[in-house]
Amino acid sequence: MDTSGEPTFDGLAASAAFYFEQTKPMIPLYIHLILSALFPIVTGSFASLSRPSSAAKPSREAKKAQGEDDNGEDEEDEAEKNMEGLSAKDAIMLPVTAGAVLGGLYWLIKKYGADPINLILGWYFSGVGIFSVGKILNDAAEFVLSVVFPTYFTNKGKLWKVDGTKRKAITNGADQDARTSPLPGVLGLIPLPRAVVDGLWYLRSIPKQKYAVVMYIKGALEANGPVTVLNVVAAFVSLGAIGYNHFIAKPWWLTNLQGFAVSYTALQVMSPTTFATGSLILSGLFFYDIWAVFFTPLMVTVAKNLDQPIKLLFPRPDQPGPEGQPPTKGYSMLGLGDIVLPGLMIGLALRFDLHMYYLKKQKTITKVGDDGESEEVVTKAEYNNVTGHWGSRLWTIGLKRSFLPASVDSAAFPKPYFVASLVGYVIGMIATLVVMSVWQHAQPALLYLVPGVLTSIWSTAFVRGEVKQMWSYTEDVSGEAAEDDEDGKKSKTTDEKKDGRSEKKKSHESWWDYLKYEIIGLSESSESDSKKKPSKSENEDKAGKHDADILDAKAAKDPDSIVAFSIRRIGPSSKKPKDTKASEVSNGDKADQKHGTVSRSSSSSEDVVLVSKDAQIAPESGPSRRTRSKKA
């Protein structure tokens, strides 16, 4: 026995065994908590992926070859996404603003109680929840359909491609086989009635069936945009879920659904812009979280009193109640900030993985001009949309990568930084739970999550020798007209190519430059903080102008009207293709109009109801958001 007072190995082992036995009933809860935190981070990060600046825009022919345009419609390039970029000044203001809001909520709760605060915030979060829950449900439905109806699958050692236009699945190679079922693998060999097969083809086409909707209510509403059947169904389900949660009951799983949805959406609309800014944001919130939990009662008091979807709830094992009373139920809590804030950095790491993947695929050639001067021309690989291919990846498992189509192969790009950041996040979460279990006190999760995530990301860059590329990488707005030209090429000088910086947007060489230019603002900050309004595709511009012209013409006949509504199909037809004459197609369109449906021809199809409005219907213009622009 050691009487020196110093801990021995046997003593430490006995203590560990004791705490393990005490914590054993909580292990399922902790697993539930960790998986629930990872779910919105992983899904939101993948949903935020878009074409990096190191890749060229895909051509129309490439889209058809990839199977992304198998229905022949002119769709908007869905690879482009818009995000709100955070600056270094935002990083400084975030902890200050969070502290002020937290202190204000604490004062209001102490003075007026939690009920009026919950009532006001309940309406606010209901509005946010309708959008975010609808979005996550819509994306979940698209994911399920992509798994049930993949574009590519393997069967009997052959690669099959589903052609939605011809309503056939065809094999590659000289000896082509074909079958009419849209189901993948051995499921497609099941004999089904013709009506069932037609119904399956209709289900497969639902995500791509788009309708242009224009609505106007004088002085109240102006809306113009494309919607799908899934959008409408998800919106109604979201309304029902939020209505039940707001007016009837608030079960923990419905609160968590709203928390998942808010986190999932936030990871798609916000970006730290650079790894330096992201590290600064997490570092500032690291100290804020310690202050709010350990040195003040603010965080714990606000979290326990606000019954809002700003946290995830996890049922704890029932505790024995007083004598003769039923067991008491309790819940563990995890704030959404502990998910979203590290998740922003994890999502940035995944987009950086995609950037590096296409950067390594670039080819450089040296050209000599007429004046004898040489320049390096970088040829970028065309971008293959990496989202929406989970089904094809699942159904082509076991096939050699050399036989996979480009879209499926690109979706499996290496993700070293993303994996490392997830490992760091899980280690930080485990450390939080262990310390909380041992000391039986609420813990600031960012105290453990921030070091775990930042250490894993920057150490991975150090080991791979890519610290310079990571430091130079940015998602801020910069001119990219040159890199998106018809040839998908961009000229660079030798020095710019070596350090991976773009010609119009250079990164700061050191932390001192970053401090001077980004935080203090000694440089022309207006250029770095400029915003570019997201542009619409030519097809949508024409559709919006067409709808506005229709309603304007109709409104001119009825200047006293105050309501206008228009809907027409702009996506592919879900009907079985036929060899029909022009007159038969015209008769079919008339029949559709007779039964109240929309014509299959997007150029001539109109279903306009005008009960209103003498002014022009303009397309809805929301607030402009920063478009990600990554350095090559």
Question: How does pLDDT run across 325-363, given as a tens digit for each residue?
Answer: 777 777 888 889 899 999 999 999 999 999 999 999 888
What total number of domains does the chain contain? Answer: 1
Q: Which two tokens stand for residue 316?
A: 């704890």
- Residue 166, in any domain of the structure: yes
- Residue 344, in any domain of the structure: no
The residue with greater pLDDT, 314 or 620, is 314
**Inter-residue contact 473 to 631 (CB < 8 Å):** yes
**pLDDT tier at 299, thresholds 50, 70, 90:** confident
| Spatial distance between the Cα atoms of 514 and 511, rounded to a whole number of angstroms | 5
| Spatial distance between the Cα atoms of 277 and 273, rounded to a whole number of angstroms | 7
- Residue 182, in any domain of the structure: yes
Residue 249 is inside which H or E element, if any? none
| Structure confidence at residue 61 (pLDDT) | 66
Residue 51 is inside which H or E element, if any? none
SS (H, E, C) 55-82: CECCCHHHHHHHCCCCCCCCCCCCCCCE
- Residue 179, in any domain of the structure: yes
- Residue 190, in any domain of the structure: yes
The torsion angles phi and psi of 583, rounded to 5 degrees, stand at -65, -35
DSSP conformation letters of 452-513: HHHHHHHHHHHHHT-HHHHHH-B-S----TGGGSTT-EEEE-HHHHHHT--SS----SSHHH
For residue 520, pLDDT beyond 60:
no
Nearest to 241 by CA among 133, 337, 346, 349: 133
Does the pTM of the predicted model rise above 0.85?
no
| Spatial distance between the Cα atoms of 407 and 392, rounded to a whole number of angstroms | 9
**pLDDT tier at 449, thresholds 50, 70, 90:** very high
Number of other residues whose CB lies within 10 A of the CB of residue 185: 14
- Residue 167, in any domain of the structure: yes
Nearest to 48 by CA among 207, 271, 259, 230: 271
**Inter-residue contact 211 to 228 (CB < 8 Å):** yes
Q: Which domain holds residue 166?
A: 152-202
Question: How does pLDDT run across 602-611, given as a tens digit for each residue?
Answer: 333 334 333 3
Active site residues: 289, 338
| Structure confidence at residue 527 (pLDDT) | 40
For residue 263, pLDDT beyond 90:
yes
- Name the burial class of residue 283, with classes exposed (0-12), middle (13-18) and buried (19+) by CB atoms within 10 angstroms of its CB: middle
What rounded mean pLDDT belongs to the chain?
A: 75
Question: How does pLDDT run across 145-204, given as a tens digit for each residue?
Answer: 989 999 999 888 888 899 888 888 888 766 678 888 889 988 888 898 999 999 999 889
For residue 122, pLDDT beyond 80:
yes
- Residue 423, in any domain of the structure: no
Beta bridge partners of 568: 212
% of the chain exceeding 90 in pLDDT? 24
- Residue 579, in any domain of the structure: no
